[in-house]
Amino acid sequence: MRPKTLVGWLIIVLATIYFVMPLIATLEFAMRQLPAGAARGWFLFGRPHSFDAFLSSVVSPRFQSDFLRSVALAIAAIVFGILLVVPTAYLIRLRFPGWRSPVEFVTLLPLVIPAIIIVFGYSRLYLATPWSPFNKSPFATDVLLTIGYVVLALPYMYRSVDTGLRAIDVKTLTEAAQSLGASSLSILFNVILPNVRSAVLSGAFLTFAVVIGEFTFASLLARPVFGTYLQEIGANQPYEPSALALIAFFITWACMGLIQVIGRPRGAAPAR
């Protein structure tokens, strides 16, 4: 084995240990909770362990309702984000290339402006005024929360879609579709969107990962979601927070894995 190859593998092993050991420690701590009334669980590292923290967290009615609400809000944010970003990025690349830099700057603002400032501005503008439609019901507040999630995920969604559009010839595809009599909506949804499917799915999964773990927006808008549930459990329970943190971690990595699987280019069809 060459010295450079050996050094490379050594770095990979050390990096793996650095990132995996905290997960193992978190898992071991979460498994220290024993079932109620049980004197002992199965032994690991010389002490009893069980998966009771994971089971009690998952079967909790509060966990199920808050997690499902977060999933619903994530799906709504993904749909809203796609409808907002895909036409915008398409028009910028096709007709308004001079607006590309200003739009990129605007989409990066959620990474620069803290989430606490954004949601505080939302609450002062849309919830503290009697004429606002967002303070009439919990559903209306959920709509505002969804818009906030779209803003938070905007840098990831826009970058993903813009990268996908760079990989195709937008102008040629549009002109070819127009020559066949296709309308603008037909071009966008039947020609452009299928060609950037992988990029859109990447942005969608990143949006899902952002929404599942978000706490600031939901907390200040007083909406029960998975992020606020994690915080409340962490303040009142010893072992369940570690279990829920691992569950959220693996959900995020599952999204990353789906990006790799779905975004993988398909093999060329064999020649006949």
Q: For residue 149, which of 222, 85, 208 has the smallest C-alpha distance? A: 208
| pLDDT tens per residue, range 115-133 | 888 888 888 888 877 777 8
Give the tokens for residue 183.
Answer: 């309308």
For residue 269, the model assigns a pLDDT of 43
47-49/42-44 β-pairing = antiparallel
3-state secondary structure of 267: coil
Q: Which residues contact 78 (CB under 8 A, 6 or more apart)?
A: 204, 207, 208
CA–CA separation, 219 vs 68, rounded Å?
17
Q: Which residues contact 40 (CB under 8 A, 6 or more apart)?
A: 34, 48
For residue 270, the model assigns a pLDDT of 43
For 86-98, the DSSP string reads HHHHHHHHHT-GG
Q: For residue 114, which of 161, 170, 152, 165 has the smallest C-alpha distance? A: 152
For residue 155, the model assigns a pLDDT of 92
CB 206 within 8 A of CB 156: yes
Please list the ranges in the chain whose pLDDT falls under 50: 39, 268-272
Q: pTM for this one?
A: 0.80
**Per CATH, is 61-262 categorized as 3.40.30.10?**
no
Q: For residue 50, which of 27, 68, 77 has the smallest C-alpha distance? A: 27
| pLDDT tens per residue, range 15-25 | 888 888 888 88
For residue 77, the model assigns a pLDDT of 93
Domain residue spans of the chain: 3-53, 61-262
For residue 151, the model assigns a pLDDT of 92
